[in-house]
Amino acid sequence: MATKKVCHFCENSLEPSYTDSSALRKFMNDRARISSRLRSGVCSKHQRALSREIKHARHLAILPFVPRI
């Protein structure tokens, strides 16, 4: 039986930030796509915030839109 993952942000009382690129990369796959809630184990509140912050970081060129070839 699969166990439910605990939200990383709720557990540590954190909020996702666009400036923390190393933390945001943990929630992206090798193709620079945002991981789903089921794969990452993040709650719906923080998944919405996480996707917003990743998109903001991409717009500011902190994170890539596409992977390096």
pLDDT tens digits for range 5-60: 899 999 999 999 999 999 999 999 999 999 999 999 999 999 999 999 999 999 99
Contact assessment for residue 58 and residue 64, using Cβ atoms and an 8 Å cutoff: yes
Cβ-based neighbours of 39, under 8 Å, separated by 6 or more: none
> Topology of 8-59 in CATH?
30s Ribosomal Protein S18 (4.10.640)
Q: Burial level of 22, CB count in 10 A (0-12/13-18/19+)? A: exposed
- Domain residue extents for the chain: 8-59
In this prediction the pTM is 0.89
Residue 28 bridge partners (DSSP): 34
